[in-house]
Amino acid sequence: MKNYIYIFAILLLASCSNNNKEQKGQTTTTDTLAVNNTGNAFAFNEVEFKKQSLPFTIDTLFIQKVDTNNRITYQQVRALGINFLNGELGDGLSYDLNTFCLIDSLKQRNKYVDYINHLDIGMTKTCIAYKVCLINLPENNKLFIWGITNASYEACPFFSGTLLIGTFVNSNKEATHFNIAELSGGGDPPSMMNTQTTANIGADGKIEIISIVNSDDMDVPGEGIERTTYKLEIKGNVISLVDTKKEVLSKEDEAKQDQ
């Protein structure tokens, strides 16, 4: 939900883990990932994830119907490490993870009710994390897919949505996180924004992610649409962003392309 981070940056909450400063900027082609070793133990237990086979598609219906009952704790999220895919698919994830860690830790310490009683505009009210599925990739690599669903205090500015995170884990248990799918929306009238991100994973393990961001200002005619296509590939024990294509469209242009 990185688009709303910029809107609500001034309302950034203190995290329950170490802060991770990230470089922001538009991704160009051939952006190769450098991974960090997370150790021999891994935060997720494979048997707790539903197995999915390749090819695999994450569309909007899949996101809407995802089961949120198989929960993840903030201790597990912290144990995953903070190695994010370079570029836009990794930008902003630290905020989502830290926000979840904060709220889940408050719940575990019986401090959540006090937090709710002191909410202000723009602050996150609800945030949960849960297991979605596990995909076995070529060369003994794995892709854990898990989700975060959150919503803000019921006042402007507001936001809510579901973010699905892909955690790529190689044979050395080195983990890398990226935004693989999303349905979210928010704004501060007259400005509004919503994001729809879907993914296709081929039988060869190649991943194509398409993100469409709609922005609208009620005081200005028309609606802005930005469509970005990301292509990821796995070589050995490394996942890489190998291509990014960005298109800025109007509502009318999108209708013509869909014909």
Q: How far apart are CA 148 and CA 160, in angstroms?
A: 11
- Domain ranges within the chain, ordered by starting residue: 33-38+46-258
Between residues 191 and 104, which one has the greater pLDDT? 104
Which pLDDT value is given to residue 9? Answer: 40
Tokens of 193: 């924004």
Q: How far apart are CA 148 and CA 72, in angstroms?
A: 9
For every residue of 82-138, DSSP letters joined together read S-B-SSTTTTTHHHHHHHHHHHHHHHHTT-HHHHHHT--TT-EEEEEEEEEEEEEEG
Q: Which of 210, 128, 199, 137 is nearest to 168 (CA)?
A: 137
Residues contacting 108, CB < 8 A, separation 6+? 73, 74
Instruction: Using the predicted structure, report yes or no on whether residue 116 has a pLDDT greater than 70.
Output: yes
Question: Residues 167-171: what's their mean pLDDT?
Answer: 96
What are the counts of helices (DSSP H) followed by strands (DSSP E) for the chain? 6, 11
37-64 pLDDT, tens per residue?
344 468 999 999 999 999 999 999 999 9
Mean pLDDT of the chain: 84
Q: Which of 175, 156, 141, 168 is nearest to 218 (CA)?
A: 156
Question: Residues 207-212: what's their mean pLDDT?
Answer: 98
